[in-house]
Amino acid sequence: MNQCYLPAGSSISELNFSVTNEIDKVYLFDSKVKKQIEIILGETYLLPEVLEAFKSFSEALAPLVNPSLEFDEGQLKVKDMNDKFDIYDNYFEVSRVNDMRSGQFIQQYLDTSAEIIDEFQYTSMSRGEIAYILKGWEAANAIILKDKNPDSNFKLEQVDRSSVPGKNEDRALYRWKLAHHGFAVFMITSAYCFQKATELIENGGDEDAIVDWLDKGAHLFRATTACMEFGNSFTATIYRTIIRPDMSKANEEANLPNGFSGTQNLEYVEWRSRKKRLLDLVKAKKAEGTIGQRVLDMVEMFRAFYLEDMHIHSIIAGRMVGMEKSLLQAGFIKPGTKPVKITAADVLRSMAAMRDKETSFLVH
């Protein structure tokens, strides 16, 4: 498992994506992604052909994995194990970088993406979910490559790959944590898009640009949902006997009063604040009648992804956890108290209803 390096504040707003030698790598990556989108979305789905396509996809991008990242003195943040975000990062093998530079972020993005691509061919993911990840990469690549002039003849140098675990239990943990790295990168870029769209709406910006930022932000968010599917691409038995106990152990070692939850995921918390600001603004503008229909249509597309995300999360919880509680729920249950009958999936279904209520102004 490669260490994942992410911005200390979970924000790329300060990154200007200035021209670096990583831009040529992104251009090559983007050309391969577009080819895979053509295969996944434009051809009859013949499993042997798709697997062969993923194999060649993986081999072409293998040199992007396990890069050499150099950091200045003081750039790497020291973890505070009394901080809930640092506890979460520590478990998922994430290090935070102060004043993260464009090239550093791009190289991490490429590393994580190439690792996921390599693992695709061994999962049970559906074509549709893989397509959403590909569309997420397409959106992120477009942001990075905007107004750049990369070298179209750039060739990757072959490098030694870090070995992927062969043992079943270790492979499951690898896939579980790698999915969270992909989730983080997509969340950061989705939040960036929503922030840009919000600023343009506030300042009466160009409608085409607003629609474009919203489209990218929505697809990048939907890619985080697909990462959940990727990370859970194993049996419920593996989850219950390997993943859940591993998280529980980490939780106990950190002396947390309650179990892991999304509130300890810095990327999700930061993205949620930008999403709320966007929806609050759009709701107010809609009530005033001062927002265009194309913008509303694009926000409604995000709403569809937003609701679907929680429903998929509920299905995964039902499949993996069944009648059990989430780690967060279990942490609140004290010895001798009346057992709680609500399952992890029940909680997520109630959260889906809250999201429906939050965005109902778009359809009424």
Q: How do residues 156-205 score in pLDDT, each as one tens digit?
A: 877 666 668 888 889 999 999 999 999 999 999 999 999 999 999 999 99
Q: Is the pLDDT of residue 293 over 50?
A: yes
Considering its fold, how many domains does the chain have in total? Answer: 1
What is the average pLDDT across 137-146? 95
Q: Is the pLDDT of residue 15 over 90?
A: no
Q: What percent of the chain has pLDDT over 70?
A: 88
Flag whether 352 is in a domain.
no
Cβ atoms of residues 264 and 87 within 8 Å: yes
Q: What is the pLDDT of residue 6?
A: 96
Amino acid type, 236: A
Flag whether 51 is in a domain.
yes
Flag whether 45 is in a domain.
yes
Long-range contacts formed by 54-61: CB under 8 A, 24+ apart? 54/117, 54/120, 54/121, 55/121, 57/32, 57/117, 57/120, 58/114, 58/117, 58/118, 58/120, 58/121, 60/32, 60/156, 61/29, 61/32, 61/113, 61/114, 61/117, 61/118, 61/156
pLDDT digits (tens, 9 = 90+) for 75-123: 999 999 888 899 899 999 999 999 998 889 999 999 999 999 989 888 8
Q: Is the pLDDT of residue 336 over 70?
A: no
Pick from 33-42, 45-54, 93-102: least confident = 45-54
Token digits of residue 289: 């009648």
Where residue 341 falls among pLDDT bands split at 50, 70, 90? low
Flag whether 60 is in a domain.
yes
DSSP 62: G
Q: Is the pLDDT of residue 139 over 90?
A: yes
Q: Is the pLDDT of residue 257 over 80?
A: no
Flag whether 357 is in a domain.
no
Cβ atoms of residues 97 and 76 within 8 Å: yes
The larger pLDDT score, comparing residue 341 to residue 3, is at: 3
Flag whether 265 is in a domain.
no
Pick from 52-66, 131-145, 229-243: least confident = 52-66
Q: Is the pLDDT of residue 237 over 70?
A: yes
pLDDT digits (tens, 9 = 90+) for 208-234: 999 999 999 999 999 999 999 999 999
Flag whether 285 is in a domain.
no
Flag whether 306 is in a domain.
no
Give the residue numbers spanning the domain of 72. 4-259
Whether this prediction's pTM lies above 0.85 is answered by yes
